[in-house]
Amino acid sequence: MSLKLYNSATSQKEDFKSILPNQVLMYCCGPTVYDDPHLGNFRTFIFYDLVKRVLIQNNFKVKQVVNITDIDDKIIDKVNSGEMDYKELTTKFNDVFLQHSKTLSIKKADEYPKTSDHVPAMIDFIKTIN
């Protein structure tokens, strides 16, 4: 059975072809960890999980990375309001996200990199496109 996906660039359903034989590298935008996530936020993560499960069911080895945005205006505003310090705030809502994901039986990603761990690389990248 072939796996078909909709290609928005061609407006057609097309056979899925991975770049690497039988492997898929899957990058997914994750949450911004400043407040409790709601069901609408999890629609995206449930969709990622569904795609991952379909790929695995079709005998692909999937490596999934879900980023955690822990630098954002909303986070800065909350920290500046004095509600919580930065580390307490981002750790709390990162943990809430992971617990809710577990409750919804969303498969764990292979990695959850944090934005704050990659700021120098982002600055270097931005300098190359200016």
Q: pLDDT tens, 58-101? A: 999 999 999 999 999 999 999 999 989 999 999 999 999 999 99
Place of tokens 């945005």: 69
| Tens digit of each residue's pLDDT (9 = 90 or more) over 94-117 | 999 999 999 999 999 999 999 999
Residue 91: predicted pLDDT: 97
Instruction: Give the chain's domain count.
Output: 1
What beta strand segments (E) does 3-82 contain? 4-7, 12-15, 23-28, 61-66
Residue 1: predicted pLDDT: 62
C-beta of residue 69 within 8 angstroms of C-beta of residue 116: no
Domain enclosing residue 62, as ranges: 4-129
- Residue 47 pLDDT level (bands cut at 50, 70, 90): very high
C-beta of residue 58 within 8 angstroms of C-beta of residue 73: no
Nearest 5°: the CA angle 89, 99, 121 is 55
C-beta of residue 130 within 8 angstroms of C-beta of residue 49: no
* CATH number of the domain where residue 20 is located: 3.40.50.620
